[in-house]
Each structure stands twice: as C-alpha cells, then as structure tokens.
Amino acid sequence: MILIPDDAVERLLESCASIGAACEAAGISSWEVFANQGYGHSLDFEAGRISMASGGGDGGFGLRVVEDGRYGYAHLVDPRGAARAISEAIGIARRSPSIPGFELPASEESKSVGGMLDKRILDIGPEDLLNQGDQVLARVTELDSRAVAVGGGIGVGATAGAILTSNGIEDGGIFSSHGIGVHISIDEDDQLTSSYEGDSSRKLLEDPLSSVDKAIHWSQVTRDKVPGGETEDCPVLMTSDGFAPLFSMVVPTAVKGERMVRGESLWAGMLGQQVLAPHLSLVDDRRMEGGTSSGSRDGEGVPTTTRTLVDSGRLLDQIWSTRDAAQQVAEGRIDSAASTGSASRGGHTSPPGCGCGDMILSSSDRVMSRDGLIEEMGEGYVIHSVMGAHTANPTSGDFSVTTSTILRVEGGQVVGALSQAGFSGNMAKALNGRVILGNQRAKQGSYSSGSMHVPDVLLMDGLRVNPA
C-alpha cells in the first residue's frame, strides 16, 4: 500500500503554477502560492483497547499577494477556486495598511537538508499500525498488571509540500513522520496516578515502546506519597518533559526581532548582554538533519540557516521574517532588518509568521546524569510535567503552574511524591542563575513554534514550590 503518490510534489507544483497564472491574468504581479498535502494512518487507545483506526489525507493552497507594500491572504482546497481566492486576497490587500519596503523574498539558491523522508514509513499500512498498537497494549500489561492505556495513539504520515512565487522561488519535497503518545493510569486502593509520554520523528521510531516504559515508570513512582510541607523557595530539577513547555512559551518569543524592538521581549534592549548563565548557549538550527522544524527553505522560501542566538550566556542575535523586518524598519523602531530565514507556517490556512526551528540548549560546563543532578540538588523537588504552561508570561518570564508529577528530594535522595503542588517563578531569572544541565538532550514539542532540544535542567534560583 502506497502512503503517498510518487508524483505528489509535481502535482502540487503544477497546481501552484495554475494559481500563479491566474494571478498574472488578474493583473497581480507579486504573488506566492504555498501548498501541502498530507496522508496518514493512525489509531487511538481508550480504556485499554484500540478504539479507532483511521486514515486519509488533507491539504490545500495558501495564496499571498502583495501590492504597494500591502498584502492579503486567502486559502483554497481546489485550484479551480483560484478566482475566488485571488479576489479575496487582493480585496484584503487593498484595505490593509501599506508597509513601505515590504516585498516578497527574491529567489536564492538553497542546499538540501537530509533526513526529511524515511521511505520505510511509506511502507507502513493499517495492519502494521494495528500490530504496533497490540505491542503497546501487551507491553503495558507486561510491565504492570494494574496499568491501563486510557488514551493516546500511534500514527504515521507523509506530507508533500511546495512553494512557488512570482519572484522565481520554486521548491518542494516530502516529509515523513512516525509518532506515539500513550496515557497510562494506575487506579488502585482509591489512588489514581497517571502519566502521558510520547515520541515522534521523521524517521521510523526504533523503539516506540520506550514511551510505554516511561509512562509506566512515572505512574508508579508517583504512587509513594509523602506529606506536603511549607511553601518554599528551593532548587528544582525539571526533567526535559517538564522543562520544555515553560521554556518554549518564554524563550522562542524572546528572540523574535519584532518583539525585541517593540519592547515586548523579556530580552528587549539586551543584545550583547548576558541573558543566560555564562556557560549556556542557545542555537536555532533550521538545518538539522531530520529536524522536525528544519528544511532547506523557510515558510517564505528563504534559504534556512543555523544561528547562534546566545553564546556563553550573551544574546548575540534575533530572528526575523520578511514582513516583520520591513514593518519594524518602516515604523522606525530599527534602522535595518532582513529575513533570517525564520518564517514558519502552521499549514496552508494562514500566512507565514516568524518562529524558531529546532532550538538547542547546551552547556560548556559540566553536565550530569539525572541521578547526579538529584544528588547535587540535595534538598528540593523533581518535576516531570506541569499544567498551565501556556499561561506563562513571555514578556516578563513569570509563570505560575501546577504539577501532579512531583517528587520530594531530601539528602540527595528521592523520598516520595506529592499529590499536587503549585510551582511558580521567573524563567529568565532561573536561567540566568545557577543552572546545571543533564547529559542527554531530548526532542520536545513547543507551545510557540519549532521543536525544543533540551535536557534535564537543575535550576537553583528563583523558583517556589507550594505543596498542596
């Protein structure tokens, strides 16, 4: 069974060309057509069973037109609807404010990025996916007879993408994905504990059952409850899973050029200054082999780069999309700015916006295993997941969330779990204080844009835990 047609990209480019031709016929000289078409198979878990298996595809076309610095955007599913979309886009453009100097990007040569397509995934059919689902359920029972997979699922997909513009940009490719998520619960003796774990990759996952093992582990270790103490300022070891949601709400927003020059970034006005602990560096890599948010071109067709945003704690760079750069220059907030190849798209239904790619946090100082970090901490807590990370303030770095996956550490040893706790602090202050990183980075999703590649992080300053 073929997951995606061999000529999917060619078909998309042909349709983009027909929409572009319709733009030219309508007297529009500056246009951009973005297209994607996804195909996939998936299954869901519910109450310890496979509850649903499905497959199919979706996609469409996004049209952006620019006229005298004004732009309009419309989307469509069928190229035969080009006339309506063109009329809608140009109507929006003519009612929009002009941004002097804003033009669609010019065509530049780009170099391919490897690891975007794993052909093994294309050979996975519904029966193969059902076998994987059976393996997941069998593993749950094998590891803990009390445990139940109450949610989650497995899926494979392939997406063809293409971009064609009036300025000569023409590109396309196929991207594959394989993902698993599993929500495990243990309900026994009037006590319910649970954990959700997942993994995804552009390559075939070598060990999808590792997510089951992890979910079972956290469901088990949080059952040994200890009484909560007083609210205290204390060190906190955040696992990669717990740290990434808060990090992704605050840091990717902080490095956007538009936010910086408008004073809406927690690092506004701090280029060249220390913003992280001196041993920490931050790289936005849009050319990572197999990166979830990487590729040869960004969402506007501009060639991508690998940019060191923070080096040895000092803020060195910021990211821009074409429109944001032109607008902030036109409004006089910055003398000059240009695209850094940092435009992102959530799909064909919305225009591109500035965003990070695969963001990597690293340290030039010592790194430690999780057990080593716990011993180093001495007294404090381990937090593996948080609820409410989306409420973190990206302008100040302040956050206040809750967690039910929290372990108490005394004398360098885990002594038990709390039922629930409040967790608050300032991410900017914590990352600019005493910080020790774990020795293994893990890829995590992001609330804002791109993917986070972060390890376990021991934060010694600026955090407060309020046990329930």
Decide if 226 is inside a domain.
Answer: no
Query: Is 270 found in the same domain as 154?
Result: no
- Over residues 237-250, the pLDDT tens digits come to 999 999 999 999 99
Which of 221, 251, 283 is the last residue before a domain boundary?
A: 221
Exposed, middle or buried, 407 (CB in 10 Å: 0-12/13-18/19+)?
Answer: buried
What pLDDT, on a 0 to 100 scale, did the predictor assign at position 282?
A: 98
pLDDT band at 398 (very low <50, low <70, confident <90, very high): very high
pLDDT at 138 over 80: yes
pLDDT in tens, 158-181: 999 999 999 999 999 999 999 999
Residue 454 — very low, low, confident or very high, per pLDDT cuts 50/70/90? very high
Residue 403 lies in a domain: yes
Choose between 445 and 269: higher pLDDT: 269
Strand partners, 409: 380, 414
pLDDT tens digits, 427-439: 999 999 999 999 9
Look at residue 255 and tell me whether its pLDDT is greater than 90: yes
Specify whether 185 is located in the same domain as 329: no
d(CA 256, CA 254): 6
Averaged pLDDT, 39-44: 95
Question: Is residue 24 within 8 Å of residue 17, measured between CB atoms?
Answer: no
Rounded to whole angstroms, how far apart are CA atoms 367 and 346?
Answer: 35
Are 286 and 200 part of one and the same domain?
no
- Residues 213 and 310 both lie in one domain: no
For residues 120 and 66, membership in a common domain is answered with yes
264 part of a folded domain: yes
Same domain, 192 and 245: no
pLDDT tens digits along 4-22: 999 999 999 999 999 999 9
Question: Residue 135 sits in a domain of what CATH number?
Answer: 3.30.2290.10
Residues 61 and 121 in one domain: yes
pLDDT of residue 56: 83
Give Cα separations from 339 to 69, 105, 111, 203, 415 (angstroms): 16, 9, 17, 30, 51
Number of structural domains in the chain:
2
Domain membership of residue 239 as a residue range: 232-467
Q: Give the pLDDT confidence score for residue 2 in this predicted structure.
A: 76
Domain shared by 105 and 128, yes or no: yes
181 and 205 in contact (C-beta within 8 Å)?
no
- Confidence grade of residue 54 (pLDDT, cut at 50, 70, 90): confident
pLDDT score, position 1? 56
Worst-scoring range by mean pLDDT, 78-82, 318-322, 445-449, 462-466? 445-449
Domain assignment present for residue 3? The answer is: no
Task: Tell me if residue 351 falls in helix, strand or coil.
Answer: coil
Q: Is 227 part of any domain?
A: no
d(CA 231, CA 8): 57
Q: Identify whether 2 is part of a domain.
A: no
> Across all residues in the chain, what is the average pLDDT?
95
Looking at the structure, tell me whether residues 163 and 275 fall in a common domain: no
Q: Among residues 221, 244, 265, which one ends one of the domains? A: 221
Domain boundary among 194, 221, 248: 221
310 and 331 share a domain? yes
**pTM to 2 decimal places:** 0.94
Angle at 443 between CA 442 and CA 445, to 5 degrees: 135
Could you write out the three-class secondary structure of 164-193? EECCCCEEEEEEEEEEEEEEEEEEECCEEE
Question: 118 and 139: one domain?
Answer: yes
pLDDT in tens, 330-375: 999 999 999 999 999 989 999 999 999 999 999 999 999 999 999 9
State whether 195 and 288 are in the same domain: no
Find all residues with CB under 8 Å of 424, minimum gap 6, and list them: 398, 399, 400, 401, 463, 464, 466
Q: What is the pLDDT of residues 256-293, one digit of tens each?
A: 999 999 999 999 999 999 999 999 999 999 999 999 99
pLDDT at 55 over 80: yes
Of 251, 279, 254, 248, nearest in space to 437 by CA: 279
